[in-house]
A and B are shown apart, each in its own frame.
Chain A
């Protein structure tokens, strides 16, 4: 379909829905309908009551204003970033101050009420440490730091962050909002734990994101996840909890704890069940999982498998550990990338595919790990700035 024809036809169909067409217009529409069976089918689909009803609901439920404000905020950030780059390029020494100001300004925009006086040093540390970023329903974004905060979200919901960086959603009894969503994103080198409004606890590994309503609706609890997240779902038989992943996988639970590992840049997804029961729906197939089982989806091969595993290996990351048992080094590299923000360069294929067994302790730092690798294997590793070379 050509561009001009496309918009001409959409205009004709629209006008036909809203009022009568002139005889000349009717002739044009008829000619298009008559030119292929496919056009006629499309036309009937568009004008069907079902589609009409769906669209009207879609339009009514969309929060265009929030999306527009998010766009404005992003535009502003890009502009600010550019100004900052220009500024910093003149003198590297002033780097710290603009960052601090930007964060302070950000926080101010969000009507965040600090319950404790934040010092400049605190905020700098937040930036350096890579803190999670919370996107409010208005589209505004804020850094979740170690300082206590109380933020008002729509419908009387308050987001509380205490001095230890613990965060939770508290709905007052009168809260009546079902379509207000927040998104939490962790950058690399950052993990984060918080509690959703229904009491579900969420552990987010680095470079992950979760979108969830600030208050769950009456019938089901639906969230959208990407990256690696451990869920401890609050029991509520009346309202099933559902997790949607980017690859179309959907996990349904009643009350249970399980881990999902589904990074967009990886070719696989793992769902590991610790306790309770879940049902995972992938395409047409549904998998009922028991504790200590893992559903593994190989997206490159298009295969799935359900196996028994030692679940502790898969959830140790919550406590700052990553357990590898005979895993290829490239897989380890991905974890290093997300945890330490380093880039791993393999200088030959053999290094890339050699297997690794061991535990990585997050607090140890990447230097110690490299030393250990050098001492215990035939591999040679060196660190150059933010890059690790392995051969």
Chain B
């Protein structure tokens, strides 16, 4: 089960360059960044290196972040710059690069991809906070499996599956409510 760090803790850890901050950011955004890099570079090795470069850039940066969104934006922005410069360097003419590189489309397209990835980064890290069995049930549910199929796959009864589902939903809702309230407070203050 993983904890969700609140913004204040995350930022102070990041200011102290504490590894816990990077671990948290890896857990939340690594898969998203990697998926984007692979989409543009079509190269696993290069993609992995680039994502690592992006985190090194964050580690070396002296930027004072105020919100997690700013950190996230920094990571995606750095990834985009990295992709563009790598692709330019390669000067490749394959078809997909034409699509990826053509000037204006590229900018919009990139941030749309970010939107897609970010939805799932949120969803997956919310699911990560659930107890293990419960998490598994939620994952399979989202994958489109029916209750009975999940029960067979995990060798548990249908009733237990339903119980986990209910439990999972409840935990997620509580978390989301908490965050919603936080957001509301922030809106009132500013």
Contacts and interface: CB of A to CB of B under 8 A. Distances in A.
Interface stretch (A14-22, A119-127, A317-325, A344-352): A14-22
A56 B116 CA distance: 13
Contacts of A284: 95
B12 interface: no
Given A64-B26, A67-B51, A247 B59 contact: no
B89 A265 contact: yes
A1 B43 contact: no
Contact of B69 (A4, A14, A52): A4
A249 to B, nearest CB: 8
Contacts of A10: 115, 118-119, 122
Which of B97, B173, B176 gathers the greatest number of chain A CB atoms within 10 Å?
B176
B20 to A, nearest CB: 11
Nearest to B95: A283
Contact of A60 (B115, B139, B173): B139
Interface in A68-91: 68, 70-72, 74-75, 78
A60 B124 CA distance: 10
B72 A7 contact: yes
Interface in B104-146: 108, 111-112, 114-116, 118-120, 122-124, 126, 139, 142-144
A201 B22 CA distance: 38
Interface in A341-364: none
Contact of A19 (B91, B94, B112, B173): B173
Contact of A68 (B22, B35, B89, B176): B22
B15 interface: no
Interface centre among B52, B56, B73 (most CB of A within 10 A): B52
A18 B119 contact: no
Contacts of B172: 18-19
A244 interface: yes
| Most A C-beta atoms less than 10 A away, residue of B41, B93, B172 | B93
Nearest to B44: A224
A22 B183 CA distance: 13
Contacts of A1: 108, 111-112, 115
A67 B35 contact: no
A19 B176 contact: yes
Interface of chain A, main secondary structure: helix
B46 interface: yes
A248 B42 contact: yes
Nearest to A10: B118
B115 A46 contact: yes
B48 A67 contact: yes
Contact of B43 (A22, A183, A246): A246
Contacts, number: 147
Given A19-B169, A67-B30, A67-B48, A59 B124 contact: yes
A71 B52 contact: yes
A256 to B, nearest CB: 23
A52 B30 contact: no
B5 interface: no
B60 to A, nearest CB: 8
A71 B26 contact: yes
B124 A68 contact: no
A13 B119 CA distance: 6
B81 to A, nearest CB: 15
Contact of A300 (B19, B69, B93): B93
Contacts of B22: 68, 71-72
Contacts of B59: 75
B43 A244 contact: yes
Nearest to B108: A1
B96 A67 contact: no
Given A6-B115, A71-B22, A14 B27 contact: no
Given A1-B108, A246-B41, 7 more contacts: A4-B69, A7-B72, A19-B169, A58-B35, A62-B34, A68-B22, A71-B55
Interface of A: 1, 3-4, 6-7, 9-11, 13-15, 17-19, 22, 42, 45-46, 49, 51-53, 55-60, 62, 64, 67-68, 70-72, 74-75, 78, 183, 209, 211, 224, 226, 244, 246-248, 264-265, 267, 282-284, 299-302
12 contacts: A7-B72, A14-B118, A19-B176, A42-B116, A58-B31, A67-B51, A68-B22, A68-B26, A224-B44, A246-B42, A246-B45, A265-B89
Interface of B: 19, 22-23, 26-27, 30-31, 34-35, 41-46, 48, 51-52, 55-56, 59, 69, 72-73, 89-97, 108, 111-112, 114-116, 118-120, 122-124, 126, 139, 142-144, 169, 172-173, 176, 180
Top-8 shortest CB links A-B: A302-B93, A10-B118, A14-B122, A68-B26, A55-B120, A248-B94, A246-B43, A13-B119
